[in-house]
Structures are given as C-alpha cells and as structure tokens.
Amino acid sequence: MRLGKTDLEVNKNGFGALPIQRRNEKDSIEILKKAYDNGINFYDTARFYTDSEEKLGKAFEDVRENIYIATKTGMETAEEFWSDLETSLKNLRTDYVDLYQFHNISFVPKAEDDLYKAMLEAKQEGLIKHIGITTHKITHAHEALDSGLYETLQYPFSYLSGDEELKLIEKCKSLDIGFIAMKAMGGGLIKNSKASFAYINQFSNVLPIWGIQKLEELDEFLSYDSNTLLNDELKSAIEQDKKELGDNFCRGCGYCMPCPEEINISLCARMSLWIRRFPTEPNLDERTQEIMNHTLDCVECYECVDRCPYELDIPELLKENYEDYQNVLSGKTKV
C-alpha cells in the first residue's frame, strides 16, 4: 500500500518494535530478520522504547536501503530534538530516518514553532525523509491534519474503535495523509489476530503496526494477506469482543503514569479484563495481589484523569477492578 503523500510503498503488515525491548538481543534480531525475509518493510520504533532502536540497527545495518524505518521523539524543544535525532541515527546505524514523528507531545507543533522548524531543517538536510506525528488525543489529531504540516498520523485504531476514529481515517484519506494504526490489538486485550487483520484490511489507507515480541506472533501475521477478509465468523467474534469490552476500558497506553502514589494504573485499571480474557490463575498470585491492594492508596488527585487521552474516570475504574478482583479471589465471582 502507499503510505499517503510520502509515496512509501509498504507491506500491509507494519512491525511495531516496542515489544522487542522486552526480549534479549539475540531473540530480537532473529524476529526482525525473519520479518524482513518475509517481506515486512516498515518498522516503527521510538527513543522511548529503551534499546529497540539499537536492535533494529544491528538487525538491518546491511539491508538498510531495502526497508523503511520510522522513529519518534518526545522532546518539546529544538535543542532536545536535535539531541534525540542524533542518538536515534547512531542507534539505528543509519544516516537518515524515513519517517520521523513527534511522539505524543503536549501540543501540535506549528510552522512558526522552533520545534517544527528544527524538524523541517532536519528534512532539508536529508537526515529525515518525511514528517509525522503520533497522538492519543482526537483533538490533537484533527489539529495536525488541519495544519497541512504532516505527512502521516499515527493514532490508536482497531475493531474496538468508534465513529470518531472512522471519521479520522476518512479525513486522512481525503487529505492523502498516511494513517498508521497503533494499538491495533486493543492494547493487548484483543486475542483474535485474524479478525484484527481482516478488519483493518478493509481500509486501503491504514497501515497497522503490530506489536511483536515472539516468533509465533510474527508467524500469525505473516499468514494473513490481501485475501484475508471479514467473514461471518470473524464478524461474530468482533461483535462479541465489543460486547465484552464496551467503551469504558483502559487501553494500557500508560500516559496516565507515573502515579504519585506509585499505583500500577495500566495493570490495575483493567485487571477485570485480563483475568477473563487470558488465563486467570497467573493474575491471582501473591505479587499481583500486592499490586492490586496498592490501589487502595489512591487519593483521587485526578492527575491521571487529566493525562488520560480517553478521559476515563480512572479512580472509579480502580475501585471497580479492585472489588471485582477480590470477589474472584474469594470465589464469590466465577470467571
């Protein structure tokens, strides 16, 4: 598919390289090389993903011209921008980045801002080829599209998304702006990869980046192609997932953290879903019980709510998940 006005011709399976930061170097390189050998040519990483960039650099140094690398900076000043870019180029063992993205920063850089001017200068110098932006906020997404300054938008999108996200995709299509779908597996809550692929396969201008950290996960996505279409069975699975998850659930994006009381919000605010959608027993061990008990320390300062892109009532979610967790532990509630 063509990624908007960038004219990058990318495989419909994009590789999200955040999870490989959790694997050792040998395993990560094995996964990356297998992805490359099977035609995946778009790899998304970021400075925030610890050693992810370095692993990509080691895996692809000898085939750099055959792939597209997208990375990101979360810096909000021009000076920090240049430092981040320099580090990324060094880590990736390359002298250019195909797509450089502002990474969920607190504002949308405008043409007159020094931060955007730095991005544009980097493009003029050939250090980056294309300019993009990532966000979890729908208002920021529209602001970026309306500015005309960005060639791609990276935004959460899956079959759990609603009308607002669908309108955003249509807007990107009309503006010829590439849409990169992050969290295409619902932040880990979607189990049906085939349904996910088939759903997104409907949208000609959407590039999903699948977060992959295991060879078997890679094999799943490699088994799907343009002929993987929605059928009645997959549609039924999607509707069941939507029914189970509803709208008021934590996607695990982590932007609510850190919590002043050191509560693990990303885990605790969706524990009820974890223990029902995945093997229950591992989530009932002493360590997890201790983490869940820590939610009682919530003072309802609402700092997390202010930072949540989905405007969730996180203190209430914590209470609901804690109560449900205790009921499961005691046997009062069966899962």
Q: How far apart are CA 244 and CA 294, in angstroms?
A: 26
Does residue 279 carry a pLDDT above 90? no
Residue 318 is assigned to a structural domain of this protein:
yes
Q: How far apart are CA 77 and CA 75, in angstroms?
A: 6
Q: How far apart are CA 325 and CA 264, in angstroms?
A: 15
Q: Find residue 70's DSSP bridge partners.
A: 44, 99
Tokens of 48: 């925030």
Cβ atoms of residues 14 and 209 within 8 Å: yes
**Average pLDDT of the chain?**
95
Same domain, 31 and 146: yes
Mean pLDDT in residue range 103-107: 93
Instruction: For residue 21, give the nearest of 48, 59, 58, 1 by alpha carbon.
Output: 48
Report pLDDT for 6. Answer: 95
Cβ atoms of residues 218 and 31 within 8 Å: yes
Number of domains in the chain: 2
Burial label, 243 (beta-carbon count in 10 A; 0-12, 13-18, 19+) = exposed
DSSP state of 301: -
Mean pLDDT in residue range 261-271: 94
pLDDT, tens digit, for every residue of 222-231? 999 999 999 9
Does residue 274 carry a pLDDT above 90? no
Mean pLDDT in residue range 303-332: 93
Give the pLDDT band of residue 188 (cuts 50, 70, 90).
Answer: confident
72: CATH = 3.20.20.100
DSSP state of 71: E
Burial label, 216 (beta-carbon count in 10 A; 0-12, 13-18, 19+) = exposed
Give the pLDDT band of residue 245 (cuts 50, 70, 90).
Answer: confident
Give the pLDDT band of residue 11 (cuts 50, 70, 90).
Answer: very high
Of residues 54 and 280, more confidently modeled: 54
Cβ atoms of residues 289 and 299 within 8 Å: no
User: At 237, which helix (H) or strand (E)?
Assistant: helix 232-245
* Final residue before a domain boundary, out of 240, 274, 297: 240
Containing structural domain, residue 141: 4-240
Crossing angle for the helix pair 314-330 and 286-293, to the nearest 10 degrees: 140
Q: Is 309 left (phi over 0), alpha (psi -120 to 50) or beta?
A: alpha
What percent of the chain clears pLDDT 90, i.e. is strictly above it? 87
Mean pLDDT in residue range 298-313: 92
Does residue 221 carry a pLDDT above 90? yes
Same domain, 46 and 158: yes
Rounded to two decimals, the pTM is 0.90
Residue 192 is assigned to a structural domain of this protein:
yes
Report pLDDT for 252. Answer: 83
Report pLDDT for 296. Answer: 96
Report pLDDT for 276. Answer: 86
Residue 255 is assigned to a structural domain of this protein:
no
Mean pLDDT in residue range 56-76: 98
